[in-house]
Amino acid sequence: MPEFAARVSRARTEGAFGVLEKAARLEAQGRSIVHLEIGQPDFPTPEHIVEAGCKALRDGYTRYGPAGGLPVLREAIAEHIGETRGIDVSPEEVVVTPGAKPIIFFSALALLDEGDEMVYADPGFPIYDSVAALAGATPVPVPIREENDFVLRAEDFLERVTPRTKLLLINTPHNPTGGVLSREDVEAIAQIAMERGITVLSDEVYSRILYEGEHVSFASIPGMKAHTILLDGFSKTYCMTGWRLGYAVTTREIAKVFELLQVNSNSCTASAVQMAGVAALRGPQDCVDRMVAEFDRRRRFIVEGVNNLPGWSCRMPRGAFYLFCNVKQLGMEVVELRDRLLDEAGVATMHGTDFGVFGEGYMRVSYATSIEQLEEGLRRIAEWCERL
Ligand SMILES: Cc1ncc(COP(=O)(O)O)c(C=O)c1O
């Protein structure tokens, strides 16, 4: 075995992949598993998008393209973000990547030196603190609390800001809690970032999966566009997790550095996949509306079901497709609860601490699955809890 670079030991993985793997092993042994761990829509990619991808392959989009993305997709994204966020965006401010995730990695590499600090909401997407640590920086968690409706408070952020804070990583609508920042929240946080010269990486991959209120982007706050890396993608909105297509909208200077990092890693994003992305943004949007309406139906169903489980409770999430369930009454560590639910009840879930230390006492349940599966999952958990 080679001697690995020290940085590798600072990286961590996403627990969801481990749970999925274990669930698949149990299924291969003939066990029936209800999947409530998965963070991807269970619907197929809309047909017109699949068709556009296939056509692009037949039309010869099979070669390398520009590192920052095909001009036609950069234009479509600039138009889409311009319209949905109410700002002017030029194609040079857009960088297309294989999934949204590389933008998180590129941001850490581009902006964090050793000893710098990155503030992020905890619980949050597991990769945030991992990439900051990989870059040699210090990840600084800000707790987001159930009693604040799982929304990051400006004063809690301010308390953690130091002269070394370079980046704030924030996500709305929020994985794993379904919390959504209001305009006032975004304005208050943006004000601090602008005063202190902190760049905000605004993860908006769930921007279209919103059940109430409005989605407010950091980039839309006057003066903030120059301080923002807006991250969005196609995985969740258009059921395209396996296609790998995402993007950043940011300043031209940051976009140039991201292009350089792209040349040094992926070279470019698959050309035919990008053409499918053009069809997604410029084609009919009723597929997105239908998906969100179905998630909404499931959301109401599962919230009621979870609140009837002994020892479990949860808030009504306002966006994304997750519940962050309070299981403190069960008095069990959440890793043990996750394992026992999978082994003994046949239900795959995620333990809250996979999303950070402040996730202790919580389980993430994804409702990106059918009502029938949700019903069966609830039935199994209820039976298991009664046997405790
Ligand atoms: C909050 C958040 N950001 C980013 C991503 C990455 O998405 P992509 O599939 O576009 O890389 C995910 C995926 O689960 C996510 O939940």
224, 213, 231: which is closest to 149 by C-alpha? 213
Residue nearest to atom 13 of ligand 1 (CA): 39
Among 204, 236, 266, name the best residue to mutate to test ligand 1's pocket (greatest count of ligand atoms within 8 A of Cβ).
236
What single letter denotes the amino acid at residue 274? Q
**How far is residue 117's CA from residue 243's CA, in Å, rounded to a whole number?**
33
Is 90 exceeded by the pLDDT of residue 347?
yes
Q: Which atom of ligand 1 is nearest to the CA of 101?
A: 11
What's the start-to-end Cα distance of the chain, in Å? 44
Is 90 exceeded by the pLDDT of residue 236?
yes
Determine the Cα angle at 80 with ends 79 and 81, to 5°: 95
pLDDT score for 16: 84
199, 247, 223, 201: which is closest to 94 by C-alpha? 247
From the CA of 326, how far away is ligand 1's center (Å)? 23
From the CA of 274, how far away is ligand 1's center (Å)? 17
Among 96, 105, 125, 207, name the best residue to mutate to test ligand 1's pocket (greatest count of ligand atoms within 8 A of Cβ).
125
Is 90 exceeded by the pLDDT of residue 17?
no
Give me the residues paired with residue 217 across strands.
none
107, 135, 106, 139: which is closest to 122 by C-alpha? 139
How do strand 228-233 and strand 246-249 relate by DSSP bridges? antiparallel
Continuous H helices in 140-251: 154-160, 183-196
Pocket flag, ligand 1, residue 175 (CB < 6 Å) = yes
**How far is residue 208's CA from residue 299's CA, in Å, rounded to a whole number?**
15
Q: Which atom of ligand 1 is nearest to the CA of 102?
A: 11
**How far is residue 38's CA from residue 57's CA, in Å, rounded to a whole number?**
30
Q: Which atom of ligand 1 is nearest to the CA of 175?
A: 1
Is 90 exceeded by the pLDDT of residue 12?
no
Pocket flag, ligand 1, residue 189 (CB < 6 Å) = no
pLDDT category of residue 15 using cuts at 50, 70 and 90: confident
Percent of the residues in the chain that have a pLDDT greater than 90, as a whole number: 97
* Non-local CB neighbours of 12 within 8 Å, separated by 6+ positions: 126, 129, 130, 133
Is 90 exceeded by the pLDDT of residue 38?
no
pLDDT in tens, 62-110: 999 999 999 999 999 999 999 999 999 999 999 999 999 999 999 999 9
Which domains are assigned to the chain?
A: 6-44+286-387 (3.90.1150.10), 47-282 (3.40.640.10)
Q: Which atom of ligand 1 is nearest to the CA of 100?
A: 10
Q: What is the pTM of this model?
A: 0.96
277, 280, 267, 256: which is closest to 95 by C-alpha? 256
240, 266, 268: which is closest to 52 by C-alpha? 240
pLDDT in tens, 205-226: 999 999 999 999 999 999 999 9
Q: What is the DSSP string of 13-47?
A: --HHHHHHHHHHHHHHTT---EE----S-SSPPPH
Q: What is the pLDDT averaged over residues 154-174?
A: 97
The mean pLDDT value of the chain amounts to 97
